[in-house]
Structure 1
Amino acid sequence: MKGCKNLKEYLERPFVIESLHGENAVEVELSEELSKKHPTFPVRLIKPYKYSDAEKIPLRNKAPQAIPTIEPSGIKKITKVLKERKLRTNKVREYLVRYSDLMCEDELLAEKDIPEATKHLRRFRHTRNNNITK
């Protein structure tokens, strides 16, 4: 149900529609705990109720969803270095690297932790310098 946040928790459940008041209003049958509330609501606040399969067919067993297994490949292959930052405390530079595996997120690594660091950092500095001069 759209509308007032205070009413959402009370009114987000299925109600039986008793009657329509023109094209823009609906009168619903409220439970005893909501009997003090006004039973007429604007149509724009009403959403159709969708039954779940468990209510329609209670004996149907749900098939467990298969969880894809991710096999760790040990060493992640770095595609490129994206950014560089210098830490004040140790004067150590960290580099944001992107891996070729789509399942891996970008990660900050120190230069000593990057395999083939000289090759990747040389390419990063070259592209960064070319972008600055343009």
Structure 2
Amino acid sequence: MEYKDHEGYTHDWVTLLPAVQLPNNTSQHSTTGKTSALLDKGLNPLLPVNHLKKNLLTIHPTAKAFHEMWKRACDTASKCIAEAKEYNKRWDKSHMEPDLREGHQVSVSTLSFNNLKGPQDMIDWFLGPFTIKKNAVEVKLTDKFSRKHPVFPVSLVEPYFQTEEDKFSSRKTNPTPPESVEIDNSPEPVKKAIKAGKIRLNCKDQRQYSVRFKNQTAGKYKWLAEDAPPDGNLILRRFRASRRT
């Protein structure tokens, strides 16, 4: 936690922490509208300038030395940040993503493995080599999906084929009229009832029966109300009698 200034003197960053802590605790937060010290302690600490006399022409030598050290630290930090930005720009221009294809040998990060034994500090960061079998797909997510990670395995994607409506979205098509279908209102003859049940309809329990129709396959059945079949009384009596036996 040490740094050297332009004169070659070594300083410790820890000595500057009180100067950072004080403005941080006395700054008003944009969300709460209050300072951290007021929320934590219930009061704001007095600043050193509040204890100085108004007619004082000079400051204490210790305060002056601390101010000069703080100024040099700020200049050094600004210089380091500027150098880091320039380095990142050079790195972005010269860096190229590796061209990984099927069949290439790669090492895999151990962050994805949770079955490795031994101390965490002794586990290697990467395991391998492994052979690439399928590549992942990176898509451009839009709208509400933009915050999700855009890389997906190839097993989770499929080709998208554009429909005619998508190709010509501005084209207006006349809706085709529905075909007229003759409705047969004559009730189908019921052969027998198979099972009974209850449903809640209009805040009342209504009994229904699963019935099988005549001249139909055995797998075709339908739930009907108790009074729906025309000869329902006879069919239901037979159904209840078969259950008693």
TM over 0.5: no
Greater RCO, 1 or 2 (C-alpha within 8 Å, sep 6+): 1
Bigger radius of gyration: 2
Relative to its length, the structure with more helix (as a share) is 2
Give the TM bin, normalised by the shorter chain.
0.3 to 0.5
Relative to its length, the structure with more strand (as a share) is 1
TM-score (structure 2 length as normaliser) = 0.28
TM-score (structure 1 length as normaliser) = 0.43
